[in-house]
């Protein structure tokens, strides 16, 4: 048992029965076995959750920022006592290996909670303008939150805790692939004393449950993380009632490695960002562009480093990679690997099929393709698995053009010893986030993209501001 009431929804501070018998099976991707079932929320269930949130919103919007900071800190202390339950759920429903599930996958929520609590102190909830008027930053209203499965509690934390920090009551529809950790979180929020209706959870799929939330005329804003196709559908539904929409979508992030970089360190950092979490990282540097003088050496280094990544059972301790989340994802990755071979890419390591001895789960071999061209499917399409592509460039301009030649704009990575060049490129790359020489994102920084990666910002002050509306006061 992962959570007390897997077949119920958390609405208005109570665990309530769904209005339909429809269920969604939850699978362990390492074995293919069904480990639980959750209820599939109907439009009626979503309406009940929105009604509860609207009722609670009247008083929750009156709470002070200090009240809400205390609430986040209470959630933090209860979360610490339930962290092992969240980890177990993430290990078994996502297939995240033990050390990852019990480490970063669960721990991120604590980092986000601390960063949002600090951000409350940094925010001006009211301020005067030089023209004599003033502005109140109010909670936007009841918000609908839809999340994916790849870093499940991370994405839920970025939305739920930011909404509560801003003073917004919310309805969460987590991914149907990883709903169990969200049920544990609902128990945590209940124990922490989130007011009844402040947080509501309805499980279900995108087409039925997610669409009903996006369509609801009284939901003031939708915050969505997931595929570009899902984001477009939510934005279209939301447009009918002129809702604000924040979108965090897919990516195909470039990584520029110059001849003056520490090649070994650059490749280790890049491949661990791509292969970690079985390649299911939206901001992963999956398109490696290498300056020509070191390109052949880079191919050899990439092959050697990729060979050190081990794939294995999530139940075991260690730094290995687990399976990908489900059969649909596995087939998507396999068909792209096959397309790489068919379209003439040079396979350096990995390839189609499962690693030896791991035939039961949805396991993928860490794969590196080199000598790719801009028109290949493995270069243009988000693979969302442990697959990376490499190609050479001759000039800085050419590197920037290759990097920006994508529909996506989530992250970009630069490796160079020349600080002037790093600064120059940072301003030219079309991405919401630029990381240089192996740097990573810190709690409280704004996470988000541009182009078809969406335009929302999550984390810290920027994440709370997404859920606020500015009210002009002129007297």
Closer CB to ligand NAD, 286 or 468, in the complex: 286
Binding track over 251-290 against ligand NAD, x by CB under 6 A:
x------------------------------x--------
282 is catalytic: yes
CA torsion angle 350 351 352 353 (round to 10): -10
Give the CA angle between residues 135, 137, 140 to the nearest 5°: 135
Residue 18: burial class (beta carbons within 10 Å; 0-12, 13-18, 19+): buried
Binding track over 351-370 against ligand NAD, x by CB under 6 A:
--------------------
Closer CB to ligand NAD, 323 or 454, in the complex: 454
Span near ligand NAD by CB under 6 A; candidates 121-129, 169-177, 270-278, 387-395: 169-177
Residue 60: burial class (beta carbons within 10 Å; 0-12, 13-18, 19+): buried
Q: How far is the CB of 283 from ligand NAD (least distance, A)?
A: 7
Closer CB to ligand NAD, 13 or 250, in the complex: 250
Secondary structure in 3-state letters for 367-385: EEEECCCCCCHHHHCCCCC
Q: Helices (H) and strands (E) in the chain — how many of each?
A: 15, 21
Longest distance between any two alpha carbons in the chain, whole Å: 73
Distance CA 305, CA 248 (A): 31
Distance CA 127, CA 133 (A): 9
Distance CA 268, CA 287 (A): 15
Identify the H or E element spanning 91: helix 65-94
Span near ligand NAD by CB under 6 A; candidates 13-21, 95-103, 206-214, 435-443: 206-214
Site for ligand NAD in 108-127 (CB under 6 A): none
Q: How far is the CB of 23 from ligand NAD (least distance, A)?
A: 15
Site for ligand NAD in 405-464 (CB under 6 A): 410, 449, 453-454
387 binds ligand NAD (CB under 6 A): no
Span near ligand NAD by CB under 6 A; candidates 44-52, 247-255, 392-400, 417-425: 247-255
Catalytic residues: 248, 282
Sites of contact with ligand NAD (CB under 6 A): 146-150, 155, 173, 175-176, 205-207, 210-211, 214, 225-227, 230, 233-234, 248-251, 282, 382, 384, 410, 449, 453-454
């Amino acid at each position: 048992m992962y959570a007390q009431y897997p077949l119920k929804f958390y609405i208005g501070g109570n665990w309530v029965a769904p209005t339909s018998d429809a269920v969604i099976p939850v699978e362990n991707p390492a074995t293919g076995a069904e480990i639980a079932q959750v209820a599939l929320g109907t439009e009626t269930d979503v309406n009940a959750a929105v009604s509860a949130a609207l009722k609670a919103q009247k008083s929750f919007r009156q709470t002070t920022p200090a009240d809400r900071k205390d609430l986040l800190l209470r959630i933090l202390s209860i979360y610490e006592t339930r962290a092992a339950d969240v980890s177990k759920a993430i290990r078994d429903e996502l297939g995240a290996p033990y050390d990852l599930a019990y480490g970063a996958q669960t721990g991120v929520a604590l980092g986000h909670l601390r960063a949002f609590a600090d951000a409350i102190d940094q925010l001006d909830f009211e301020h005067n303008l030089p023209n004599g008027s003033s502005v109140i930053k109010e909670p936007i209203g009841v918000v609908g939150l839809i999340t994916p499965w790849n870093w499940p509690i991370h994405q839920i934390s970025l939305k739920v805790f930011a909404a509560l920090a801003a003073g917004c009551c919310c309805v969460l529809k987590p991914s149907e692939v990883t709903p169990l950790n969200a049920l544990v979180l609902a128990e945590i929020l209940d124990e922490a004393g989130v007011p009844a209706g402040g947080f509501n959870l309805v499980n279900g799929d995108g087409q039925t449950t997610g669409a009903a939330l996006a369509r609801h005329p009284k939901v003031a804003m939708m915050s969505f993380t997931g595929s570009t196709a899902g984001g477009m559908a939510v934005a279209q539904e939301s447009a009918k009632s002129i809702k604000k929409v924040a979108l965090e979508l897919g990516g195909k992030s470039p990584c520029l490695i110059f001849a003056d970089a520490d090649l070994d360190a650059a490749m280790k950092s890049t491949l661990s960002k791509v292969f970690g979490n079985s390649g299911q990282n939206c901001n992963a540097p999956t398109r490696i562009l290498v300056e020509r003088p070191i390109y052949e050496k880079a191919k050899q280094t990439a092959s050697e480093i990729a060979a050190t990544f081990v794939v294995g059972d999530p139940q075991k301790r260690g730094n290995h990679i687990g399976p990908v989340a489900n059969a649909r994802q596995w087939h998507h990755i396999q068909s792209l690997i096959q397309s790489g071979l068919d379209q003439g890419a040079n396979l350096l390591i990995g390839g189609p099929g499962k690693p030896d001895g791991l035939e039961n789960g949805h396991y993928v071999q860490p794969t590196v393709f080199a000598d790719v061209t801009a028109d290949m499917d493995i270069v243009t399409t988000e693979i969302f698995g442990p697959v990376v592509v490499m190609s050479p460039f001759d000039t800085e301009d050419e590197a920037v053009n290759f990097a920006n030649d994508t529909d996506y704009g989530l992250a970009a990575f630069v490796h160079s010893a020349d600080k002037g060049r790093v600064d120059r490129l940072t301003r030219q790359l079309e991405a919401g986030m630029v990381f240089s020489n192996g740097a990573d994102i810190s709690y409280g920084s704004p996470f988000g993209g541009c182009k078809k990666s969406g335009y929302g910002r999550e984390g810290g002050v920027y994440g709370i501001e997404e859920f606020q509306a500015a009210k002009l006061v002129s007297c």
